[in-house]
Chain A
Amino acid sequence: MRVLAFAGKLLISLGVGVLLFVAWTLWGTGIYTERTQVRLSEDFAALPSLPRGGSSTLKPGRPPRAYRPPPGDPVFRLRIPAIDLSQIVVEGVGTEELKGGPGHYPACRAGFPEPFCTQLDEVWPGERGRVIVSGHRTTYGAPFWALNELKPGDDIIAETKWGTFSYRVSGSEVVPPTATDIANPRATDGREIVLTTCEPRFSAAERLIVFARLEEA
C-alpha cells in the first residue's frame, strides 16, 4: 500500500512537471519574446539611418559593405499585413537568436557557427539574391504561426535603416528538413525574400517555405 501511494505521488509530480513544461512552451516563451521585441523595437528605432551602398547597377539598394551586425542585434522590421505581423528581425538563426524574434540568415563569421550560417555572402533586403528569414511557428511568440495563410500577391515589407523594400508573395512550398539548398542566398538572380518555419504547427516534421519577389524600393 505504501509503495502504491509513493508511485501515485511520483506520477502526479511528474505529470505536474509535464504541465509546467507545456505551459512554459506555449505561453511562457511568448511572454519572453514579447518583452524582447519591445526592447528590440526601441533599440532599432534608436539606430541611425545607413547610406545605401553599391553602384547604380545594384539598385534598389543594400547596406554598406562593412555592415556586419553581431548575433541578436535588430536588423530590420518585417511587416506582413495579411497575417497582421510586425516583428523586429534579429541577426542570426541560432536557438538563442530566434528566442527574440525572426532571424536573418547570416554569413559565417565570429558568433555565427555552422550550420546556422552560410559560407556565401549574406543577402540583405533590397539586394540581389535571396534574403532568408527564419522564425518560430509554435513557441517564442510564434511569429510565423499563420505563414501558411499567405497567398500569392500578399505583401511582405522589410523596413531597414537603408530603405523600405516591398516584396510580393510568389508561392510557397513544404519541404523536408534535409532540403538545405533553400538556404542558399545565391539561389536566384533576382531579388527575393524567403521565410522559413516548421510545418505543420506543433511539429518539426517538415519546413514551410514562402517565396516573395521584390516589387518596389
Chain B
Amino acid sequence: MNRRRSWRSRALELLLWAALSVVTAVVMVSLSERLLPSNF
C-alpha cells in the first residue's frame, strides 16, 4: 500500500537532486579547467 508523501518531503528530495546536479557541473568545470589546455 502506497503512503502519500508530504509536499515538504518531495520538495526536499527535489532540492537534493538539484544540488547533486550543481555539484556535478562544478566538478566537471573544475576538471575541464585542469585537463584542457589554457586556450581551448
Contacts and interface: CB of A to CB of B under 8 A. Distances in A.
A20 B25 CA distance: 6
Interface residues of A, number: 30
Contact of A17 (B23, B33, B38, B39): B23
Contacts of A93: 38-39
Contacts of B37: 177, 198, 204
Q: Size band of the B side of the interface?
A: 10 to 19
Given A9-B17, A25-B32, A17 B40 contact: no
Interface in B1-32: 17-18, 20-25, 28-29, 32
B36 A21 contact: no
The secondary-structure label for the interface of chain B is helix
A198 B37 CA distance: 8
B38 A116 contact: yes
A139 B32 CA distance: 11
A18 interface: yes
Contact of B40 (A20, A21, A136): A136
Interface string A56-80: 0000000000000000000000000
B40 A18 contact: no
Contacts of B38: 93-95, 98, 116, 134
Interface in A153-180: 177
A93 B23 CA distance: 28
Contacts of A12: 17
A20 B22 contact: yes
26 contacts: A12-B17, A13-B18, A14-B24, A16-B21, A16-B24, A17-B21, A17-B23, A17-B25, A20-B21, A20-B22, A21-B25, A21-B29, A21-B32, A25-B29, A93-B38, A93-B39, A94-B38, A95-B38, A134-B39, A135-B39, A144-B39, A177-B37, A197-B39, A198-B37, A198-B40, A204-B36
